[in-house]
Chain A
Amino acid sequence: MTEKKNRPEKQGGMWSKPVSRRDLLKMAGVGGAGLLLGGLGTGGLLGAKGLLQENKASAQSGDIVDFYGSHQAGITTPSQDFICFASFDVTTKDASDVRELFKKWTEAAAAITSGELIGTANDNGNLPPSDTGEAAGLNPSRITITFGVGPSFFDDRFGLASKRPAGFEPLPHFNGDALREEWNGGDLGVQVCANDMQVAFHAIRNLARIARGKAVLRWTQEGFQRTSGSDEAGATPRNLMGFKDGTGNPDIRDEQTMNEVVWAQSGDGASWMAGGSYMVVRRIRIRVEVWDRSTLKDQEGTFGRHRDSGAPIGSRGEFDKVDLNAKDEKGKPAIPMDSHVRLARGDGSLRILRRSYSYSSGLDKTTGQLDAGLLFISYQRDIAKQFIPLQRKLATDRLNEYILHHGSAVFACFPGVRKGGYIGETLL
C-alpha cells in the first residue's frame, strides 16, 4: 500500500494522513504506536496515545460488524444504540446510473463499517475531502448499513417490473393510519445503526452526498434506545410509553428460526431476494401527553403486561408464558381482550423480527406537543403472510387510542454482498 509508505514523511495532524481507523486499531493491538506517532508534535502525541488506548479496549470487545457476508448486517445483528434511517427517491432514469450508485455505496459502506475514511481525496488541498470527516478517529461503534429497494423501484423506469416480488407493494390501509405524505415510501431505503450517533449520521450524510445527481433524500428519521452504557445487562428495552418492547422477539441466534421468519428463501418466488429480507418501517407517533394522564391500571390493561416487570398481567416474570385463558377474580380475562399483547401474540403463529427504535423530533408546530414515538422496524420473509395479517389483528388494539401511524414504507433488503461484489447485484 502506497499510503503506508507516505506515512512517516508527512507532517501535521494525525487525521490529515491516510491512516485508517482500522489501521490504528490494528497497530494499537500489536503495540506499534511508537512508530506511528513519530511524526507528531507533543500535543498530537498525548492526544493520540489516549485515543489508541481507548480504541484498544473497544477493538477487543468487537466494534466492527463485518459488512460482507451471506446476509446483510443490521438485520439479525443485535440492536445497536442508535439508528439513522433514510429513504431516497431515485432521480436518474438510467439503470446503469443506479448500478453505479450501488457500487459506490458498497465501497463507501465497506469503508465506513471498517472504520476507514471514504475515498482517496482526503489530503488534496485543491479538492473538498472525499470523506466529510466527522467520524475520523472514532471507533466504528458496530455500525451496520442495510440497503433495500421499495415497490416504486419496480415501476417502468428501470425495466425491472418483472422482477418485483409477488405481493411486494405499499402496505394496505390499516385501521388507525394517519399517514402523512412526507413520511411515506421511497425507492431506496437505508438503515444505519451504530452505538454512536455521530458515526451513524456520518454514514447517511456521506451516502446522500455520493447519491447526488442520482438519488435524493425523501425522508429521514433518527432514533435511539437506552444505550448499552446505561444497561450493561442488555435487558429488553423500554419504549417511550415506559413498557418493555421486544420481549416476544424470535431468537436471532437460532439460524433455523431466522430462516423461517426473516430470510427470504430461494423457493419463495423472487430468486434475486434469496438470503435477503423484507423490511417494514412505520413512523408511529405516540400521543405522549394523553398517555401520561392515563392511570397505571389503564396503561397495563392497554399492553396486557405489567409496566415494572414486563410480565403478562397476573404473572411475575417478563418471559412467563402469556396465558390468554387466565381469568381475574371476577371471572373476566386477566389479559383484556383488546390488549396489545393478546392481539399481537395471538396463537404465536405469526412471527416477525422487530428492530424498533424510539424517536423524538422536536415539537408538533400546530399543537406544541412532543413529536415523539416509535420508529417501528420489522424484518420478515414475507410481508403479506406475516406483517399484514398481524397488523390487521391490531385493528381493535386499545393502544390505537394513544398512537398515530404517520409514516409507512416497505423495502426489499438485498441478500448479503461478497467482497468484490456490490449491493443489489442479484437484481441490477
Chain B
Amino acid sequence: MKALYTGAVLLAAASIVLSGCSKNENKANETAANAVANNAAAGAVDLTDAQEKYRAYGIEQCDQFIIETEKFVNAVKAGDIDTAKQLYAPTRMYYERIEPIAESLGDFDPNIDARENDVPDADWRGFHRIEKSLWVDNSAEGMNEFADRLLSDVKALRALMETVEVDSTMLVTGAVELLNEVSSSKVTGEEERYSRTDLYDFVANVEGAKKIYELLKPTLEQKDADLEKQIGDRFAELEGQLEKYKSGDGYVLFTELKETDTKALSQSLDALAEPLSQMGTILGA
C-alpha cells in the first residue's frame, strides 16, 4: 500500500481506493484522475460534496487525535500510569472513527494500531505496545521511546491526511469496512486484550460508519428511500443497545459483557451491515 501515496502511481490508483497524493506536485494529474474516477465509479451521481466533507471530517478527527495522543504520551512519559490508563481508550476513538483512511495510507495502521503478533516483535510499537506495559506490568518503564514514536506516527498520518483524495467507491464501502472491523475484532474482545476497553473502539467504528451514512443520506434518500430508512432505523437500534453499556463518560469493560450480550450486539451489527452494504446502489451498476 505504500506505493499509493507516491505520485507516480496515483493515476492508476485513483479510481480504486482513497489515495493520498501531494497536491502541489500533481495538481494537473489530479483533475484528470478525478474525472476518470468519477466516470468509472460514480456514474451519473455526483458525490463530490460528500467526498469533500468526509475528507474534512478525517482531518478534523486527526487534529483531535494529535491533541489527545499528546496528552496520553505525556502521561506515559511522566510515569503517570493512572492518567495514561484513563486517556488510552478515549484517545484511540479518534483513530478508530477514520480507520479505513489510515489503512489506505500505507504503514500507518501497523505502526499505530498493531496488536502483539500482528507484526514481528522487533517492529511492534504503537498503542497496543504501550497498552500491554500499562495493564500487564502496570508500568510505563521503557515506554518513552514508544511514546515518542507514537506521537510522531500520528503527526505523520495527519500530514498525509491533508493530501488524501476521497473516492466515491471508497466512501461507500468504507462504512461497511468500519463495521467489519467491529465484527472481526471488537465484538470478540480481541482488540484490547489487556485494557479490555474494546467497547470504546466498537462505538468509534460505528460512529465513523454513521458519519459516512449521514453524508450519503441525501443521495440515498433520492435513490432508495426504503434502504435509507432501514439503515437509519438499524443505526438507532444498535446505538440504543450500546447505550446500555455506558459507564460514566465511557463504556464498561469487555469482561463485563456476557455471551448473550456480545451475541446480541454482533447480531445487531450484522443486521445493520447488511443494508449498509447496499449503499453502493447510489453508484449505479
A residues neighboring B (CB under 8 Å): 91, 123-128, 209, 212-213, 216
Contacts and interface: CB of A to CB of B under 8 A. Distances in A.
Contacts of B41: 126
Contact of A213 (B271, B277, B281): B271
B275 A213 contact: yes
A351 B57 CA distance: 68
Interface residues of B: mostly helix, strand, loop or mixed? helix
Contacts of B267: 91, 216
Contacts of A212: 270-271, 274-275
A235 B156 CA distance: 71
A213 B271 CA distance: 4
Given A91-B267, A91-B271, A127-B278, A213 B283 contact: no
Category for how many chain B residues contact A: 10 to 19
Contacts of B274: 209, 212-213
A125 B285 contact: yes
A128 B230 contact: no
B53 to A, nearest CB: 21
Contacts of A128: 277-278, 280
Contacts of A91: 267, 271
B172 interface: yes
A253 to B, nearest CB: 42
B172 A213 contact: no
Contacts of A209: 274
A212 B283 CA distance: 23
Interface in B121-178: 169, 172
B277 A126 contact: no
27 contacts: A123-B285, A124-B285, A125-B285, A126-B41, A126-B172, A126-B280, A126-B281, A126-B283, A126-B284, A126-B285, A127-B277, A127-B278, A127-B280, A127-B281, A128-B277, A128-B278, A209-B274, A212-B270, A212-B274, A212-B275, A213-B230, A213-B234, A213-B271, A213-B272, A213-B275, A216-B270, A216-B271
A128 B279 CA distance: 10
Given A126-B280, A128-B278, 13 more contacts: A91-B271, A123-B285, A126-B41, A126-B281, A126-B284, A127-B278, A127-B280, A212-B271, A212-B275, A213-B230, A213-B234, A216-B267, A216-B271
A127 B277 CA distance: 7
A284 to B, nearest CB: 25
A216 to B, nearest CB: 5
Interface in B192-232: 230
Nearest to A89: B267
